Amino acid sequence: MREFEFLEPASVAEASRILAEVGDDCRLMAGGTALLLAMRQRMATPTHVVSLAKIDRLRGIEFDAAKGLRIGALAKHSDVERSALVQQHYPMLASMASRVANPQVRNQGTIGGNLCYADPATDPPGCLMSLGAQVVLGSARGERVLPIEEFLVDYYTTALEPDEMLLEIRVPVQAADSEGLYTRFRRTAAEHRPLVNLSLMTRRSGANCLQARLVVGASTTIPTRVPRAEAFLAGKTITLEVAAEAADMVATDIETLSDQRGSADFRRDMVRVVARRSIASLFGLPAN
């Protein structure tokens, strides 16, 4: 690891000015789990590392009955997992956070850092997308709000401007009849990164699906909603046959990655299986 200057600004504006002045040789650090690994491997060689730890604007988990959930960018995955507010109002989000990577990462890594790194094989982005989340971005120039679909642009690429940082995540209030399920598939129990993940958020009445938001991740470049399958599920009484037909649509409509962890065809087959089982499981059907 090369030598670098370590800076600790106390405000968003101060951190933003440093980013603007130093440019490409500057990196922000939240939890540091991804950045320090990249620096040790010489994949990143910044001259300046800007810690966000002293910026209070980035902290906290709060819930408002009208506005919904606010998660500060510096909230750790374990904070989200253990938050009584998240467990009560967004149980799928708490369940997802409890399975991110491994205990070391969950207790050090932050949800904001995770989103900004934009690793396709990670858990929070797709789950948050299925909940209709937005991100708040800030700089010395002010703040702006983006749906998470617009924030995640491409493979390891976000909509952040060079002088911006992620301040918080906002999750809207969910309908009283809503229920969700987050599912992840790993090739082996020893792996920490899913090969497929799927987030399914529904409004339902018994076996009847009133509305669905379905997002596939890990096997796609960025988390991907599947509008055709969502529209197909809406208004249906969910049976195993309906679940299987919707899963075929999901597998057909996404563009899967191909790499050393799995070919595009293998990933597509696994997406089909995970989608069918997830839909069936959420509606109390045997997910074989």
pLDDT for position 189: 84
The dihedral built from the CA positions of residue 186, 188, 189 and 192, taken in this order, carries a sign that is: negative
CA angle (132 as vertex; 230, 151 as ends), nearest 5: 110
pTM: 0.96
CA-only gyration radius of the chain, Å: 19
Judged against a pLDDT cut of 80, whether residue 60 lies above it is answered with yes
User: What is the rounded distance in angstroms from the CA atom of residue 222 to the CA atom of residue 166?
Assistant: 18
Q: Which two tokens stand for residue 85?
A: 């507010």
* pLDDT 10s digits, 240-276: 999 999 999 999 999 999 999 999 999 999 999 999 9
Percent of the chain with pLDDT over 90: 96
Q: List the beta bridge partners of residue 51.
A: 29
Name the band, by pLDDT with cuts 50, 70 and 90, for residue 1. confident
Averaged pLDDT score across all residues of the chain: 97
CA nearest to 112, candidates 33, 4, 46: 33
Give the CA dihedral 165, 116, 128, 62, nearest 10 degrees.
-40
User: What is the rounded distance in angstroms from the CA atom of residue 252 to the CA atom of residue 262?
Assistant: 17
